[in-house]
Structure 1
């Protein structure tokens, strides 16, 4: 397969999947959740790297996915258990997990380009 067809295929699949999820999030007034997920998956990548010590490991993707799902569950849990508005729950979870990732990279991965 040529590189152009591969790029178009990836762009098409990404566009379709993101539009479906994006519509759902906008209707639920959770569009900031996308920003939270994209930043907190970094913690999953950092944790997976600290365990495997390999930048080419498939565990990086698994860690990122798990942290993205964990972010959604944490926000939903805070909404339901603590009676916090959705935007406030995102505002608590998102900076905490992203800051934790930055601290871990600073402490343990100074010379690694993640």
Structure 2
């Protein structure tokens, strides 16, 4: 894994319209498996603030095998997001969600016979 230090520009926002943190690396392309460590970052940002500052970052380039591994496993992990939804409707045919409550008219009522105990509990 090769490492290099580069200058970076960090933009952060925590407002009612936007919530983001972007890092622009000067002259470095980042690929699958690469790691970026921003030195001395500002992590606390109050509501309503927008920050923009420059820092130094260390970029660790991944080797060919870790790049291939991340590329293959990322394709599998994306499929977990297909069923994510914040609505009450599920689009999958596998399970019915939410399950409708049975109505009294659609379920035939069976006669329920009471249970009668002839003997009590013996101690």
**Same fold, TM-score > 0.5, yes or no:** no
Structure with the bigger percentage of strand: 2
- Which structure has the bigger radius of gyration? 2
Q: TM-score, normalised by structure 1?
A: 0.25
Structure with the bigger percentage of helix: 1
Which structure carries more relative contact order (alpha carbon 8 Å, separation 6+)?
1
